[in-house]
């Protein structure tokens, strides 16, 4: 009896993991491996930003901001969000040198974080995670930054829906079905 309970718990964990893995990633090309989806908007007369194969958190490319005139260059994309839904926004940053650098993240035009300077541990990737809520169907995600000298690198941008009580109870329902089958 105890054994079968333990077995169902293992199945429950499996079901819940599978259901979180199935949550859709809304950011297209969040790893910057292709040139897709992001719109690049240069700030000022000498923009300096783009995809780079020089370094990556995962995969073989990331995106860098290196405007030497301390003018923000910007990338943005509009995500297929649903109004009223909460999402986990996550991304990774790398800074090789402390200096006059800046990175601003915006969600639907509102500020998520404004790093001025980008004061993170040097020469290592640092993850940032936030919960954001869509007030629109189609939310704009925007990164803007510069670095004097050197560059800020960005990789693995992700936006996935926060699990709702409905998806969790679906997992529990599946668990009951499994448990009942095992008892036969
Ligand atoms: Ca990448
Ligand atoms: Ca820097």
Distance (angstroms) between ligand 2 centre and the Cα of 146 equals 8
Distance (angstroms) between ligand 1 centre and the Cα of 47 equals 22
Distance (angstroms) between ligand 1 centre and the Cα of 29 equals 9
Structure confidence at residue 117 (pLDDT): 96
Q: Nearest ligand, CA of residue 53?
A: 1
Q: Shortest CA distance to 61 belongs to which of 33, 40, 25, 26?
A: 33
* Phi, psi (rounded to 5 degrees) for 77: -150, 155
> Residues 149, 99: contact at Cβ < 8 Å?
yes
The CA distances from residue 151 to 6, 50, 62, 101, in Å, are 51, 11, 12, 8
Query: Per-residue confidence at 99, pLDDT binned at 50, 70, 90?
Result: confident
Report d(CA 25, CA 38) in Å as an integer: 15
- DSSP output for 72-89: -EEEEEEE---TT-EEEE
Distance (angstroms) between ligand 1 centre and the Cα of 165 equals 32
- Whether the per-residue pLDDT at 36 is higher than 90: the answer is yes
Report d(CA 154, CA 3) in Å as an integer: 47
Distance (angstroms) between ligand 1 centre and the Cα of 50 equals 13
Q: Nearest ligand, CA of residue 102?
A: 2
- Residue 67 contacts by C-beta under 8 Å, 6 or more apart in sequence? 43, 44, 46, 47, 48, 49, 73, 145, 146, 147, 148
Report d(CA 163, CA 176) in Å as an integer: 20
> Residues 12, 171: contact at Cβ < 8 Å?
yes
Q: Shortest CA distance to 46 belongs to which of 64, 67, 74, 76?
A: 67
Question: pLDDT per residue over 114-152, tens digit each?
Answer: 999 999 999 999 999 999 999 999 999 999 999 998 999
Structure confidence at residue 23 (pLDDT): 78
Q: Nearest ligand, CA of residue 119?
A: 2
> Residues 81, 141: contact at Cβ < 8 Å?
no
Distance (angstroms) between ligand 1 centre and the Cα of 71 equals 24
The DSSP code for 25 is B
> Residues 117, 101: contact at Cβ < 8 Å?
yes
Query: Per-residue confidence at 164, pLDDT binned at 50, 70, 90?
Result: confident
Q: Nearest ligand, CA of residue 67?
A: 2
């Amino acid at each position: 009896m105890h054994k079968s309970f333990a077995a169902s718990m293992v199945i429950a964990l499996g079901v819940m993991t599978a259901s979180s893995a199935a949550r859709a990633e809304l950011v297209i090309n969040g790893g910057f491996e292709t040139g897709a989806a992001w719109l690049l908007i240069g700030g000022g007369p000498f923009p300096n930003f783009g995809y780079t194969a020089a370094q990556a958190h995962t995969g073989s490319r990331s995106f860098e901001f290196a405007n030497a005139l301390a003018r923000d260059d910007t990338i943005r994309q509009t995500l297929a969000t649903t109004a009223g839904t909460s999402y986990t926004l996550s991304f990774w940053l790398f800074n090789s040198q402390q200096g006059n650098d800046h990175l601003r993240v915006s969600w639907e035009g509102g500020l998520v974080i404004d790093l001025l300077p980008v004061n993170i541990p040097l020469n290592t990737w640092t993850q940032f995670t936030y919960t954001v809520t869509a007030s629109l169907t189609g939310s704009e995600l925007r990164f803007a930054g510069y670095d004097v000298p050197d560059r800020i690198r960005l990789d693995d941008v992700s936006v996935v829906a926060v699990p709702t009580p409905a998806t969790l109870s679906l997992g529990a329902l599946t668990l009951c079905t499994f448990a009942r089958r095992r008892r036969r």
